[in-house]
Structure 1
Amino acid sequence: MLERRPQERRGGEQAGPDRTRAGAPVSAVRVLAWWAYLLGAVVAAALTGVAIWFLLQEAAGDPKLRIDAIRTGLTVGLGAGGAFALLIQARRQWLQERAHNHQERTDVLAHAHQERLADAADKDAAERRITEKYNTAAEHLGSDKAPVRLTALYTLERLANDNPGYRQTIVSIICAYLRMPFALPTDQEGGPDPVEGQRAAVRRFHTARAAARAGTWPVAPVPAAGAGPHEERQVRLTAQRLLHTHLQPDASVHWPGIHLDLAGATLIDFTLRGCTLAGADFTKATFFGDADFREATFFGDADFTKVAFSRDADFRKATFAHFADFTKVTFPGDADFREATFTGHTSFLAATFSEYVDFERASFSGHTEFKGATFSGPTDFFEATFTEDIDLREATVAGKIDLREATFASVCFGEATFAGEVELENTTVSDTAANHVLPSGWRIEPAANGGHIVAGPTSSGESGVGASR
Structure 2
Amino acid sequence: MPEGQDSPARADTEGAQPAAVRGRGARAVAAFFGWSGWTTVTALATAVAAFGALWFTGQTLRATNGQLGLQHQIAVTDRLQKAVEQLSSESIDTRLAGIYLLERLAKDSPTDHEPVFAILSAYVRTHTDLTRCPRSEPDPRTFRATPPPTDIQAVLTVIGRRKSGHDLPYGIDLRNTCLTGADLAKADLTHVQLTGANLAQANLYEADLSDSFVMNADLTGASLIGARAHDTVLLRAVLSEANLFDADFEGAVLREADLRGARLSDATLKLADIAGADLRGTDLRSTDLTAVVTISTTGVPLRYDDTTLWPPNFPPPPR
Q: Given the two structures, how large is their TM-score scaled by the length of structure 1?
A: 0.53
What is the aligned partner in structure 1 of residue 308 from structure 2?
406
CA pair 267-277 structure 1, distance change in 2 beyond 3 A: closer
Matched AA of 1:128: I
Work out whether 1:132 is the aligned partner of 2:83: no
Contact 2:110–2:166 at 8 Å: present in 1 too?
Answer: no
Name the aligned partner's letter for residue 279 of structure 2: F
For 1:71 and 1:400, locate their aligned partners in 2 and report how far apart those are by CA, in whole Å.
133
Q: Name the SS of the counterpart of 1:105 in structure 2.
A: helix
Query: Is 2:318 the counterpart of 1:318?
Result: no
Is residue 2:153 matched to residue 1:237? yes
Matched positions, count: 292
CA contact (8 A) 1:370 1:395 kept: no
Would the alpha carbon gap of residues 105 and 275 (structure 1) be closer, same or farther in structure 2, given more than 3 Å must change?
A: same
> Which structure 2 residues correspond to residues 323-342 of structure 1 after superposition, within 5 A?
323-332=231-240, 334-342=241-249
State the Cα RMSD in Å: 3.7
Aligned residue for 1:373, secondary structure, equals: coil
CA separation of 1:404 and 1:175: change in aligned 2, threshold 3 A: farther
For residue 179 of structure 2, the aligned residue among 259, 267, 270 is 267
What's the CA shift for 1:268? 3.8
Q: Is the 8 A contact 1:258 1:278 kept in 2?
A: no
Deviation at 1:166, TM superposition (A): 2.7
Distance 1:316 1:339 in 2: 6
Distance in 2 of aligned mates of 1:70 and 1:357: 127
Unaligned runs of 5+ in 2: 1-7, 135-145
Unaligned runs of 5+ in 1: 1-62, 187-229, 248-254, 410-428, 433-437, 439-453, 459-469
Cα distance in 2, alignment partners of residues 278 and 457 from structure 1: 38
What is the CA distance between 1:307 and its match in structure 2? 0.3
| CA-CA distance at 1:79 after TM superposition | 3.5
**2:289 — aligned with what?**
386
* Residue 301 of structure 1 pairs with residue 211 of structure 2: yes
**1:141/1:132 CA distance change after superposition, 3 Å:** same
Seen in structure 2, the aligned counterparts of structure 1 residues 235 and 350 have a Cα distance that, compared at 3 Å, is same
1:414 paired residue number:
none
Offset, 1:301: 0.7
Give the secondary-structure state (helix, strand or coil) at the position aligned to 2:289.
Answer: strand
Q: Hey, what does 1:353 align to over in structure 2?
A: 259
More strand by share: 1
Distance 1:279 1:455, change over 3 A: closer
Secondary structure of the structure 2 residue equivalent to 1:280: coil
What is the aligned partner in structure 2 of residue 25 from structure 1? none
Residue 273 (structure 2) pairs with residue 363 (structure 1) = no
Secondary structure of the 2:310 match is: strand
Measure how far apart 1:130 and its partner are: 0.6
2:24 to 47, 56, 80: 80
Match of 1:138, as an amino acid? V
Whether contact under 8 Å (1:352, 1:375) holds in the other structure is: yes
Q: CA deviation at 1:159?
A: 1.5
- The answer as to whether partners of 1:315 and 1:337 remain within 8 angstroms in 2 is yes
TM value normalised by structure 2: 0.75
Q: AA paired with 2:252?
A: T
Deviations 1:292-347 (A, max 9, x none): 2221234x5121100023x42111111233x1111111235x2122112233x222
In structure 1, C-alpha distance between the alignment counterparts of 2:123 and 2:298, rounded to whole Å: 38
Give 3-state SS (helix, strand or coil) of 1:324's partner. Answer: coil
Query: Does the 8 Å CA contact 1:303/1:324 hold for their aligned counterparts?
Result: yes
CA contact (8 A) 2:274 2:292 kept: no
CA separation in 2, counterparts of 1:238 and 1:180? 15
Higher relative contact order (CA 8 A, sep 6+): 2
Q: Which moved more, 1:262-271 or 1:74-83?
A: 74-83
Aligned residue identity for 1:295: E
1:45-124 residue pairs with structure 2 within 5 A? Answer: 78-89=22-33, 99=45, 102-124=48-70
* 2:268–2:287 CA contact under 8 A, matched in 1: yes
* 3-state SS of paired residue (1:135): helix
